[in-house]
Amino acid sequence: MRIAVLGTGSVGQTLAGRLAELGHEVTVGTRDVAVSLARTETDQRGVAGFGAWSLANPGVGVATLADAARGAELLLNATSGEASLAVLAAAGAENLAGKVLIDIANPLDFSAGFPPTLFVKDDDSLGERIQAAFPQLKVVKSLNTMTASVMARPVEVGEGDHTVFLSGDDAEAKKTVGVLLAELGHTDVIDLGDITTARGTEMLLPLWIRLMQATGTDRFNFKVVR
């Protein structure tokens, strides 16, 4: 499948590399290709500069947000939650119409430091805001409740089972995302319902962050035991 990964950070790099390895035709979308490729230093969180990552992953294309979106059959939103609506607007509503978007972003607000708060919660969600702003896009919220390496290779990160959630209004889109999740190695997929159920998974983030602080690692996941 032709996939556009919007985002050059940890999630964008990890999933773009993994999806290309699985045989998909992947293009990473970014605001300014030259500026992103000029980033070669690893940051303080251990995330490679995008330019260095791109050199090591020559099979993954790099393009502007609009060009990446235009050429894609399916998109991933792996951008900062605060920037996601602006990023999708820059990608162009006409390039998004009718396509599936896996929305991985979380509405984290770091303005008061760490741990972040959520800038939308309880009665709305980032997933819903994206769906409302781009009604012709088929938004499926998923993968946002685990760290990037667990998204990409659940079976190789941590022993045991992993649960991943789906929220979205379009049943066919969720089926498409389910196939991709299975390719990544996710076997326990819970369809929570329509896009309003993204409130639940986005509100898991405050717990996820406390679990990371308590256990000293981000290599863990939620498992729902029935």
- Site residues, ligand NAP (CB under 6 A): 7-12, 30-31, 36, 78-81, 83, 86-87, 104-106, 108, 144, 147-148
DSSP state of 46: S
Shortest spacing between CB 174 and ligand NAP, in angstroms: 19
Residue with Cβ nearer ligand NAP (22 or 63): 63
Residue with Cβ nearer ligand NAP (88 or 173): 88
- CA dist 152 and 132 (Å) reads 28
CA distances from 41 to 37, 45, 52 (A): 11, 11, 8
Shortest spacing between CB 145 and ligand NAP, in angstroms: 7
Give, for 17, the enclosing helix (H) or strand (E).
Answer: helix 10-21
Shortest spacing between CB 195 and ligand NAP, in angstroms: 16
Shortest spacing between CB 120 and ligand NAP, in angstroms: 12
Residue with Cβ nearer ligand NAP (78 or 172): 78
Shortest spacing between CB 117 and ligand NAP, in angstroms: 13
Shortest spacing between CB 172 and ligand NAP, in angstroms: 24
Q: Which residues are paired to 74 by β-bridges?
A: 3, 100
Residue with Cβ nearer ligand NAP (100 or 108): 108
- CA dist 51 and 37 (Å) reads 4
Give, for 65, the enclosing helix (H) or strand (E).
Answer: helix 65-71
Residue with Cβ nearer ligand NAP (76 or 171): 76
Shortest spacing between CB 25 and ligand NAP, in angstroms: 20
Q: Considering just the CA atoms, what is the radius of gyration of the chain in Å?
A: 16
Identity at 144, one-letter amino acid code = N
Residue with Cβ nearer ligand NAP (84 or 171): 84
- CA dist 51 and 217 (Å) reads 27
Residue nearest to ligand NAP (CB): 9
Q: Is the peptide bond before 154 cis (omega within 30 degrees of 0)?
A: no
Helices 126-133 and 84-91 meet at what angle, rounded to 10? Answer: 30
Write the DSSP assignment of 174-206 as a string of letters: HHHHHHHHHHHT--EEEEEESGGGHHHHHTTHH
Residue with Cβ nearer ligand NAP (8 or 176): 8
